[in-house]
Amino acid sequence: MAYMGSPIIIDKLLYQPKNSLINQSINAKELEEPLNGDGFGIGWYVPDVNYEPVTFVSINPAWSNRNLRNLAPKIRTECFIAHVRAASVGEVSESNCHPFQYGNLLMMHNGGVENFAAIKRQIREPLSNEFYNWIKGQTDSEHLFALMLHFLFEEGLSVNPESVIQAFERMFDHLHTLMWRGGITEPAYLNMVVTNGLFVVGTRFITDNKETPLTLYHSKAAHYAVENGIGQMRPAETGDRSILVVSEKLSDEKDWTMVPPNHFVVVDSELTVTTRPIKACA
């Protein structure tokens, strides 16, 4: 889940709604099996202190995390992301929790690369030392973000939605080539989110365009509120608007728009939402 917009107490996104990510992880409706909570992580921005985000991760389930329950009602932010991990590659540890952080960027991934071990070495090989040493864990996610960051910063250009989009496209193509060479036939599921606190770029992607990627939705710019224990988007009052980008709809409301398959979704600092095709893995 990614939230951007009007300042919000993060408890309203995490614990208050019955349909929050935490409670979804017990019984996710659109997945085959419930998520098992192999780790939980959140990240948020406090620009009145500085521009780097804060992360808080745990290998213990969020619902029983005393510190997080105490913190959540006390943190107010304009940009917040949250992730529940269902471990595919990599043991359950804090290093393997999302979101990953580099400078001002926060990144999280929903999905996985089948038989990642076959290409782990090759993924690492082109990385500059900066990103080679940045990797702390064993997840496919972290390795792919290292590669995306390598491309993003390679040319010294500024970080904005355009450059992030291009870095993703290069990374997806490079991954696709490595998968082919490594004999990985299963498509990779690559729903990813990157934010710097001012914009959000999400991907809804699968490396084989004949298959269906994991779900990804965005809301309109509206007012998020918790009513009757349900978090939902309501018509926005002036100035009090936000956008949510989520793996699963918070409610059955018609206010959730599915991101088209193999498309980017971009939320800019004006809360304008656009989508465009991902040009990779043709």
* Contact residues for a second copy, defined by CB under 8 A: 9, 26-27, 33-34, 36-38, 46, 49-50, 54-61, 63-64, 66-67, 70-71, 73-74, 76, 87, 91-95, 117, 120-121, 129, 132-133, 136, 138
Shortest separation between residue 223's beta carbon and a second copy, angstroms? 20
Q: How far apart are CA 109 and CA 30, in angstroms?
A: 17
Shortest separation between residue 163's beta carbon and a second copy, angstroms? 26
* Cβ-based nearer residue to a second copy, 42 or 164: 42
Q: How far apart are CA 39 and CA 93, in angstroms?
A: 7
Token code pair at residue 19: 């349909």
* Cβ-based nearer residue to a second copy, 28 or 230: 28
* Cβ-based nearer residue to a second copy, 142 or 255: 142
* Cβ-based nearer residue to a second copy, 11 or 169: 11
* Cβ-based nearer residue to a second copy, 71 or 236: 71
Shortest separation between residue 278's beta carbon and a second copy, angstroms? 30
Amino acid at 239: G
Q: How far apart are CA 272 and CA 270, in angstroms?
A: 5
* Cβ-based nearer residue to a second copy, 16 or 203: 16
Shortest separation between residue 197's beta carbon and a second copy, angstroms? 12
Shortest separation between residue 75's beta carbon and a second copy, angstroms? 8
Shortest separation between residue 258's beta carbon and a second copy, angstroms? 27
